[in-house]
Structure 1
């Protein structure tokens, strides 16, 4: 599953928060303002927990030497995006795990799967943030098999270009893998690559259906009953105001963040904001790496009792 849209939205919202809140350093404000597009990529990148703490430690060391050039700023944007990704995962994985196709079925035989839950979550955020913005990261054509809403779609072999792009990306990723076996053991290396490989194909038609022709039962189960998004919550109201260009004061935003979250998306923004604040304290102070890991909840049990 992806949660692509939700991860990116949460990162953008929390980066907006950093720009308003007085507690954040000028360096964090600079990075979260200038590298939003870069953070979108890192917010959907897996495996960041293995690197984000080390990166923050290295970036702080360079900053103390007087080095905060573009390369260091881009690395910081990556680390902060990963932190937001982690917050979203810790809040949502337990929810996804509660929708098991083996045990949850509707009266009419509709499977309630974890991937369906994530898709309907993404569809909800898309409608709230992107449906009327074809200049943003998710124009409508993103979810169309042949991108027919684009005027140029008849002039391009959409499926052919998509297949070619997939091959190019896979080949570039393959070239980055290190051969960790003895010479002559190519088959063993290839087998290991296959084990590590992830499926690159997303069922775009499922996203299209959830966005433009949602199943009422699934919407009720994944969004309403699961309380994914409640627009009356202060932190979500602040996030929406900032996206529409309304002015928000630091004090009001801080009060909203301190308000106990109820919906899942409010939990994500609350947790990600707390993690970013911890990262800022680490960057500007003398916090040790072990304390940083602890306050980012790395290795701690999630809401589902599984280490996350």
Structure 2
């Protein structure tokens, strides 16, 4: 799993825009509201390209039945979140990969890890108001507080162990004893480390070093609050009136001159609209995969 705050921010902002888009499938709009927590799980899950189209096509068939599978809406919510993850990766990974893939040791100062953390911190500030007030959900201010004592540090290590156990449990209820090597291979290929410690987050948040802000965020054009799509999302979040045509205009205006965050929102909207066409039966699974950029390298969007 890719547990990054930026992925959740892009998911939430995409949903805010999608709820106003006149071509967005109404079933999607319903599950975005009712099952946001499940969509969040999809938003921090990778390999969406391997199964998103098939799940949506399955849901299309289910929803046509007199008694569809009761979990179809939740599964759709998970897939929608995972598609926003895919869009986020395509626009943000080229930034972090400027400094390599990241050091699994989690050593402070590793530029690839610092880049990801700085992205998370900016989204935490801009989208979730640093964990304060009505914009904070699902975060609190203490989420970035590093261990204050040896006991806190031990608790963090216990949490990491429990998280790993939970991921194993989520992978499958019981390993395939008939093909344990195949099961282990599949699991290990999908397992991602989380090398960034809470202490790193807390330290970088407290310092908010302007040289690092420039290096990792400004110079890489990661986020610009003046981008039209980002402005629309913030206005919706704050309860201001945003008309559907404003969202359409902002989408049409978003290009390579805009920030990576805004472009990720546009890409995510593109994926969700294509998913809606699949759910309506207007396109098939293979065309949906093409529109989801399946098979296109994640690092292809370098500019």
Q: Please confirm whether the aligned pair reaches a TM-score higher than 0.5, indicating the same fold.
A: yes
Q: Which has the larger radius of gyration?
A: 1
Cα drift, residue 18 of structure 1: 1.9
Question: Aligned partners of 2:210, 2:138: CA distance in 1, in Å?
Answer: 27
Question: For the structure 1 residues 190 and 32, does the alpha-carbon distance in structure 2 shift closer, same or farther, using more than 3 Å as the test?
Answer: closer
Q: Which residue of 1 aligns with 2:141?
A: 140
Alignment of 1:144-223 (within 5 A): 144-146=145-147, 158-159=152-153, 161-175=155-169, 176=172, 178-179=175-176, 197-200=191-194, 202-223=196-217
Instruction: Report the CA distance shift for 1:242/1:195 in structure 2 as closer, same or farther (over 3 A).
Output: closer
Give the Å deviation of 1:218.
Answer: 1.3
1:279 aligns with 2:275: yes
Identify the range of structure 1 (74-83 vs 125-134) with the bigger mean alpha-carbon deviation.
Answer: 125-134
Determine the structure 1 residue equivalent to 2:10.
10
Quote the Cα distance in structure 2 between the aligned partners of 1:274 and 1:67: 30
Q: Structure 1: where are the runs of 5+ without partners?
A: 103-109, 149-156
Corresponding residue for residue 114 of structure 1? 112
1:26 is displaced (CA, Å) by 2.1
The structure richer in helix per residue is 2
The alignment status of 1:80 with 2:62, answered yes or no, reads: no
**1:3–1:118 Cα contact (<8 Å) kept:** no
RMSD, matched Cα: 3.0
Q: Judging changes above 3 Å, is the alpha-carbon distance between structure 1 residues 95 and 67 closer, same or farther for their aligned structure 2 residues? A: farther
Q: Contact between 2:175 and 2:183, CA under 8 Å: does it hold in 1?
A: no
Q: For residues 45 and 31 of structure 2, what CA distance do their matches in structure 1 show?
A: 18
Q: How far, CA to CA, are the matches of 2:185 and 2:279 in structure 1?
A: 41
Tell me what 1:154 maps to: none
- Residue of structure 1 equivalent to 2:249: 255
> What residue number does 2:290 align with?
294
Secondary structure, aligned partner of 1:61: helix
State the aligned residue count. 288
1:250: Cα distance to partner? 0.5
Question: Structure 1-normalised TM-score?
Answer: 0.82
Equivalent position SS for 1:98: helix
Counterparts of 2:7 and 2:17, CA distance in 1: 15
Q: Is the 8 A contact 2:52 2:83 kept in 1?
A: yes
Distance 1:49 1:27 in 2: 21
Q: CA deviation at 1:228?
A: 0.9
Q: Does 1:242 align with 2:239?
A: no
Structure of higher RCO (CA pairs closer than 8 Å, 6+ residues apart): 2
Seen in structure 2, the aligned counterparts of structure 1 residues 123 and 2 have a Cα distance that, compared at 3 Å, is farther
My pick for the range that moved more, 201-210 or 267-276, is: 201-210
Change beyond 3 A, Cα 1:89–1:180:
farther
Residue 112 of structure 1, CA deviation: 6.7
Q: What is the CA-CA distance between 1:138 and the residue it aligns to?
A: 2.1
Q: Contact 1:281/1:287 (CA < 8 Å) preserved in 2? A: yes
